[in-house]
Amino acid sequence: SKCSTGGFFSKGKLQRYGSIELSPASGVLNYGQGLFEGLKAYRKENGSILLFRPMENASRMVQGAERMCMPSPTVEQFVEAVKLTVLANKRWVPPAGKGSLYIRPLLIGSGAVLGVAPAPEYTFLVYVSPVGNYFKGPLAPINLVVENDFHRATPGGTGGVKTIGNYAAVMKAQAAAKSKGYSDVLYLDSVHNKYLEEASSSNVFLVKGKTISTPSVKGTILPGITRKSIIEFARIQGFKVEERLIPVDELFAADEVFCTGTAVVVSPVGSITYLGKKISYCRESGGVGVVSRQLYSSLTNLQMGLTEDKLGWTVEL
Ligand code: PMP
């Protein structure tokens, strides 16, 4: 049942974290048939555990699997596997306010295949790890550099899905930027080398007055779940949100820039270097803009169960 969803995956089982056995000829090792997800579980003050929009991760995996010619677990199977894994690892969910449990669902072509073709068998697994902040601290401003030589995605490619190869393709640019002291890279589109796309593991937003802009989802950026949530929060809070093509030059005129992602949450951008020119943001407030701060609070208060979940985005375990 190649490229099909549902019915393919049998009921899984919990097993101790450890190595897994794979054929040297497996689809994932040879032809990159691998897809992952990332989400977090937070502990509430009352001890219960909250997942943030796990159904969104599940449907992104279903869509990505279709692109990668892989069968995928159903949304229900995905969410069930996540819940079971988190509950079995409850003691690793940090106390309220002290971090979170990062959850990594992984779908791989585990069957052997010699010529280029979809693997005959697939494995879906979930592992977890407690994490703290991705960058230096909550709301620690990051410094980005616009990448001019490498691209993350190309139209018709796989940039819009969370496949493992996308990350291998940008490691060189990311490592070079880090060695020069930048926190991350900001990618441009591969056709014009002009329009903003995203950072290595987060989406980007520009604030100008009461308008917030973010690159539109057209198959070359990952449709972030944090991105989608921040767009909804911003609209509720009275901002005008535009999803559109954003020429890199607009970085010079922005009041604030921030990145969003499961790992980075909402990270304010303190500076962006473009063609050797450093653009600084919100210098008077230590690189943290008021809008970034406000949206960070809205998101994290909901994720940590500090505010009432009127949107029904959290799943309590
Ligand atoms: N872009 C890329 C390339 C990513 O890897 C991620 C992390 N999944 C994101 C954006 C942000 O997506 P999300 O908000 O769903 O974590």
253-264 tens-digit pLDDT: 999 999 999 999
| Cβ atoms of 178 and 137 closer than 8 Å | no
Please count the other Cβ atoms lying within 10 Å of the Cβ belonging to residue 97.
11
DSSP-assigned letters across all residues of 140-154: --EEEEE-SS--S--
For this complex, say whether ipTM is above 0.95. yes
Helices 290-303, 225-236: inter-axial angle, 10-degree rounding: 110
Per-position b or e across 255-267, b if 16+ CB within 10 A of its CB = ebbbbbbbbbbbb
> What per-residue confidence (pLDDT) applies to 311?
94
| pLDDT beneath 70: ranges in the chain | 1-7, 135-137
Please count the other Cβ atoms lying within 10 Å of the Cβ belonging to residue 36.
16
Q: How far apart are CA 81 and CA 143, in angstroms?
A: 37
From 40, 162, 180, 277, active-site residue: 162
Whether ligand 1 lies within 6 angstroms of the CB of 222 is answered as: yes
Dist. CA 114 → ligand 1 center (Å): 32
162 noted as active-site residue: yes
Q: How far apart are CA 72 and CA 95, in angstroms?
A: 33
> What per-residue confidence (pLDDT) applies to 1?
34
Token couple for 12: 């899984």
How many Å separate Cα 288 from the centre of its chain?
21
Dist. CA 230 → ligand 1 center (Å): 13
Whether ligand 1 lies within 6 angstroms of the CB of 202 is answered as: yes
Report helix, strand or coil for 166: helix
- Cβ neighbors of 259 (< 8 A, separation 6 or more) are 142, 144, 184, 199, 202, 203, 204, 205, 266, 267, 269
pTM exceeds 0.90 for this model: yes
Report helix, strand or coil for 78: helix
> What per-residue confidence (pLDDT) applies to 2?
43
Q: Which atom of ligand 1 is nearest to the CA of 152?
A: 3
